[in-house]
Every structure is written in structure tokens, then in C-alpha cells.
Amino acid sequence: MKHPNRVKAAIREGRIAQGYHLNFPSPHVIEILAPFDFDFVWIDGEHGPFGLPELESHCRAAELAGITPIARVPNIQSSTILQYLDCGIQGITGPHISTKADAEQLVRACHFGPLGERSFGGNRGCDYDFELSDKVAYYRQCNDNMLVCALLEDAGALENLDEILTVDGIDYFHIGPNDFSQGLGYPGQPQHPKVLEAIEEITSRVRRGGCRMEGDVMQRIMVKQMLTASARKFLVGEWGGLM
């Protein structure tokens, strides 16, 4: 049966899940960081060079480390999301959610019925269909362990937000500031006052609507930030971690 989703568990427990953002393929990083007992690894399948074999390797490493693999997908087409789920991904971040229809499509693609239309196959994401005598219970367990994030990064999200928030099945929302600033007409200016104002408006409206933003659910650090911070400490003589 499916591994428990540690981020979903954190939501139920009222705590903030801790994890890291991996935007280049390296299951070795997951193994190296296993002793630190992070809750999740967030894999960037939209901007990172992850093929399906690499995704499977990362899912295996995450499961062995006891952490939950989450991925941002390149698009929200059902066929794309299905391939990620079939590899073993247990959390999907759907990019460019700007309408209610987008949000509904994201939810449908991530869940088995009756919540969605995810297809079942005899692959590792479905435990190879091994002795699953009660598929109704199995579908329910998979749905309960599926984490869904809607990434708001287009101007349309601002005007359609009230309708987007009516869609059930989304665990939290996040704003992609770089694409969002471009969508608002301020490319390359995520700190522009108008962009910050719009981000604050969305954040307030999401929370007033009884929904969560990413910061209410998780904290994540980029692996490249870990590497550069350690390199900087080493070069200025502040790190005593030499072997």
C-alpha cells in the first residue's frame, strides 16, 4: 500500500513540513540528506531536466529515505500528471493555474474517482497492482495521500481567484513571483510595488477564503542554496567540516 504522505500528515498535525527543492537530477542528494529526516523532496519537473527514468530513481530514493516525493509538473494535462504519479510522485504542483477550469483539471488529473479521473495501471505508482484485492479502498488511500498545489503565476489568477477557490481538492496555493510579475506587465521585476501588492492581495484572499498558502503548509530550501552556502563558509574559513 502507499507510503503515508508526510506533508499531508503535517497538515493534519498542525505543523509546518520541512523539505528541500531539487532542480537537477541527483538521487544521491536524497540519500546523503536522509539522516536529517526531512519531510519531503520537491522535484522541479517544469524547469529541471528530469526524464521519467530519473523521476522513478528519485522516488525510490525518497521512499527508502522515508520522505515524500513532490514534483512540479511541466503542464497540467492528465497524461503528463499520470506519468509522474505512475513513477511514485505523491504531490503535484500544477503550474499556471489561472481559471476555475484549470484548477478543476488539476484536481481531476491527480485523483482517482470519485474525486477525479486518474487512470490505474500496473506500475510502481500503483504498487504494480500486487494483491490489491480491494481497489476501492486502495483508490481512497491514494486520494487521501495525494497532495495538490495550484501555482498562481498569471494575471488571470487575480481576477479569477474567487472562482478558483471554490474548487475542492487543492491542498494549498503558491505564487510564482517571476512569472507572475511578467504576467502583470513587469517582467524581471518580482519586487515591483505593484507585484508585491498583488501578491499580498492574493495571499489575503486565499486565507480569507479558508484555504492555505504554501507558507502555511511547508518550508523548503533549494539544494543549490545549501551547496553555495557551504562553499562560501568553506572559502572564508568558517567551516571546520574537512575530512
pLDDT value of position 130:
87
> What pLDDT, on a 0 to 100 scale, did the predictor assign at position 217?
98
pLDDT at 6: 98
- CATH classification of the domain holding 98: 3.20.20.60
Backbone angles phi, psi at 11, to 5 degrees: -60, -45
Residue type, 72: R
Q: What is the reported pLDDT for 238?
A: 72
Cα 57 vs. chain centroid, distance in angstroms? 17
Residue 157: per-residue pLDDT: 94
Q: What is the pLDDT of residue 129?
A: 85
The answer to whether residue 240 sits within a structural domain is no
Number of domains the chain is built from = 1
Q: Does residue 132 form part of some domain?
A: yes
**The model scores a pTM over 0.85:** yes
Residue 221 lies in a domain: yes
Closest residue by Cα to residue 186 from 199, 174, 203: 199
- Catalytic residue chosen out of the listed positions 3, 47, 96, 192: 47
Give the strands of the sheet with 17-22, arranged side by side: 172-175, 147-152, 91-94, 68-72, 40-44, 17-22, 218-222
Residue 1 lies in a domain: no
Instruction: Give the residue numbers spanning the domain of 182.
Output: 6-235
| 193 is a domain residue | yes
Q: Note whether residue 152 is domain-resident.
A: yes
Residue 125 included in any domain: yes
Assess if residue 241 is contained within a domain. Answer: no
CA distance 32 to 156: 41
Written as one letter, the residue type at 127 is D
Mean pLDDT by 10 residues, the chain (243 residues): 88 97 97 97 97 96 97 98 97 98 98 96 88 90 96 95 97 96 96 97 97 98 94 82 52
| pLDDT for residue 241 | 55
Q: Is 58 a catalytic residue?
A: no
Residues 6+ apart with CB under 8 A from 172: 149, 150, 211, 212, 213, 214, 216, 217, 218
